[in-house]
Structure 1
Amino acid sequence: MDGGGDPQVAGPVIAALMERAAGETRVAMSPETAKKLIGLGATVRVESGAGVTASIPDSEYEAAGAVVGDLASTVAGADWIFGVAAPDVALLSGAKPGAKVAAVFDPFRDRARTDAYAAAGYEALAMELMPRITRAQSMDVLSSQSNLAGYKAVLAAANTYGRAFPMMMTAAGTVQAARCFVMGVGVAGLQAIATARRLGAQVSATDVRSATKEQIKSLGAKPIFVEKVAGIEGEGSGGYATEMSDEYKAAQAELVSSHIAKQDIVITTALIPGRPAPRLISDAQIATMKPGSVIYDLAVAAGGNVEGSEPDVIVEKHGVKIIGFSNTPAHLAADASALFARNLFNFVSAFWDKEKGEIVLDEEIGTAIRLTQDGKVVHERLLG
């Protein structure tokens, strides 16, 4: 397969670019995955400085066998381009016609970017739309990044909270353990529960999916569930929670109101793909909490689970501090990059055709993540 303008190129050219989105510290390729891709037969290029914010110098990519250069030389003739956030189309000038870009596109909130990719003739592959099926677990960027986000949310809340998490018995008296309530028990929520438990807090958690009760108990936390109105049996569509009935929402609000007033830390994690984040905590409920309590809103960038939350700003209401990073995984850049890069490598390697020396996507996963192809928007959820 022709990889571009370099005569020595035998396999596809895979390029990783520096992230340019505000606050983005991650990088889509690590030296580890660069070496593995080269081992498969690819030519790997990395834009100079791409890994600096994730503590990866250019020299480590070069030692792995990648070619490090400026933007133009990195993109020139590239068959595949890796990104964390999808790069602006203008940055891709010189890539091979029809080049595939694997990154996070957020197409339901940023349709203009998808349309621009279609107009430019690039194939946009939205990694966040990876189906939640067994064989795609190792490719799931949302899961790997949510795991770190749940961990970081608890640490950030603990840092903001003015007291200790664990019970401490001292000669001067006993410090009571903090009470932590996790709302939403997906990947991020489970990690938040585990992290808060490790820090010594008394942890409780809730979710609309009844199947999560046992998961909560297995981590040593107390399940808090609406009993008089049915929630979702099992995991819901694609492993995500879905919209609930008005009756359930009312019952959940009543339950949360009675429970939240006793909590010191609340972590909210509820997201519905393609829709604004559901509102879980109202201003009236915040007013019932103890002064000095902290709420971390992991969904703040998607509209927020908490009334009044703002990205990257500490909002204080009724003596309660509400926090939430717009990009929580970016606050753990090195580990987040390593995991994201492995997700991309697992994705590419699963579809590597040794005989053709190229990457051939299958229909199930290709259809699930492909936004654009042959100059058109092709994803069914964007065609309505």
Structure 2
Amino acid sequence: MIIGVLKDAEPEHRVALIPENVKSLLARKVSVLLEQGAGTNAFYPDESYIEAGATILTRTEVLEKSDLLVQISEPDETLIATLKTNQVWLSEFKPLWHKNLVNAFLRAGISSFSMDAVPRTTRAQAMDVLSSMATIAGYKAVLDAASHLPSFFPMFMSAAGTIRPANVLILGAGVAGLQAIAIARKLGAQVEAFDVRSAVKEEVMSLGARFVEVEGAKEDAAAGGYAIEQTEEYKRKQQEAIDQHAAKANVVICTAQIPGRKAPLLISKEVVARMQPGSVIIDLASSTGGNCELSEDNKSVVHHGVTIIGQSNYPAQMPKDASKMFGKNVSNFLDLLITEDGQMSLNFDDEIVRGTCITHQGEIINERVKSVID
């Protein structure tokens, strides 16, 4: 089996496998080809891959010789059309959102796997790139907010007077939200957090934040820990509570997303206008519409003195450790596809393999994706 590692296009700086992953794959009797410069932006030079046992080739050569191709982000439809039907594609291409890519894989007859579709089970935790990357996003979001806020996060008492701590509101207490809470608290801020899932209340409070509770939330155990669409009555009460707390916050970090759907709108432009000048909003959901009405993906805008930063790919700004975490997740998943003699075996009796597979032999395998593709 030959695995080819492709270089992601700018502004993505991560690489899907790092040199230590190459060593573990070679131990499994697998050959690894690397597109020249694939790891350079993540601070893993070609020389480090050569030392680990990989072969450095051009992009064309990697595409031609590999059985399985892996990169971080989604391919374009032109690339998919050039793949051979016996090749396998692995990346994080968000099939619930990028339905055109699913159809492109179907037309090309390619077996495709998307790492963001890994089932959220105990056994699959070691392959969960969403959690790994959300950890980075939550961490980086707070640091970015602190660097843009024109005041301190912690309380300061000095002869020049007392500086009150910043008030931080976290919308969504998933992995990114919980990490954001932890970092904001370490920086000395007063933190509040909101989530429709009551089950996260204890985790929020254990990190030293106050949980903003709105009664009447609908929850679904089958959603795998994700938030689900709520009733109109709940949305009204939710909006009233968020409006009140956001208007008083110095920093709002938005992390709320629903897989396959537009991100819920939680911060209106009217609420932004009521916030204190100098306040900062970080919107991690900006690529799917944003939790703030004024968010623009990969842009920073100012409205009534409030800075709104739409940033859906903070991991690309921490490429070295982000690549290490992503690569370990991918390597753990690849272990399920590799036989003892180093060959590829797609075992669809394995729930993780089947759940992560999007297309195979002209059919959609993932049930959730199948339900949304026309």
Scaled to the shorter chain, the TM-score interval is over 0.9
CA distance in 2, matches of 1:224, 1:382: 33
Q: 1:358: how far off?
A: 2.9
- Identify which of 140, 156, 170 aligns with 1:168: 156
- Identify which of 338, 359, 362 aligns with 1:372: 359
In structure 2, the partner of 1:39 is 27
Asked if residue 296 in structure 1 is aligned to residue 288 in structure 2, the reply is no
How many residue pairs align between the two structures?
A: 370
CA distance in 1, matches of 2:80, 2:270: 48
Q: Deviations over 1:42-98 (max 9, x none)?
A: 001110100111111000000100111111222223111111113335446886532
Query: After superposition, where does 1:70-81 map in structure 2 within 5 Å?
Result: 70-81=58-69
Q: Deviations over 1:245-272 (max 9, x none)?
A: 1111111111112212221001010010
CA distance in 1, matches of 2:261, 2:140: 24
Asked if residue 135 in structure 1 is aligned to residue 115 in structure 2, the reply is no
Query: After superposition, where does 1:1-384 map in structure 2 within 5 Å?
Result: 12-20=1-9, 22-88=10-76, 90-91=78-79, 97-226=85-214, 229-232=215-218, 237-354=223-340, 357-363=343-349, 364-379=351-366, 380-384=370-374
Q: 1:235: how far off?
A: 5.8
Indicate how the Cα distance of structure 1 residues 236 and 195 shifts in structure 2: closer, same or farther if over 3 A, else same.
farther
Indicate how the Cα distance of structure 1 residues 240 and 93 shifts in structure 2: closer, same or farther if over 3 A, else same.
closer
Q: Which residue identity lines up with residue 48 of structure 1 in the other structure?
A: Q
Q: Which residue identity lines up with residue 368 of structure 1 in the other structure?
A: G
Instruction: Give the 3-state SS of the residue equivalent to 2:71 in structure 1.
Output: strand
CA distance in 1, matches of 2:134, 2:347: 25
List runs of 5+ in structure 1 lacking aligned partners: 1-11
The RMSD of aligned alpha carbons is: 1.9
Q: Deviations over 1:151-208 (max 9, x none)?
A: 1111111111111111122222222111111010001000000110111111110100
TM-score (norm 2): 0.94
CA distance in 1, matches of 2:230, 2:152: 36
Q: 1:383: how far off?
A: 4.2
CA distance in 2, matches of 1:232, 1:210: 10
Instruction: Judge conservation of contact 1:180–1:266 (CA < 8 Å) in 2.
Output: yes
Instruction: Judge conservation of contact 1:16–1:29 (CA < 8 Å) in 2.
Output: yes
Instruction: Judge conservation of contact 1:236–1:242 (CA < 8 Å) in 2.
Output: no
Q: Deviations over 1:299-331 (max 9, x none)?
A: 011100001111222211222111122422111
Instruction: Judge conservation of contact 2:219–2:227 (CA < 8 Å) in 1.
Output: no
TM-score (norm 1): 0.91
CA distance in 1, matches of 2:81, 2:35: 14
Instruction: Judge conservation of contact 1:75–1:93 (CA < 8 Å) in 2.
Output: no
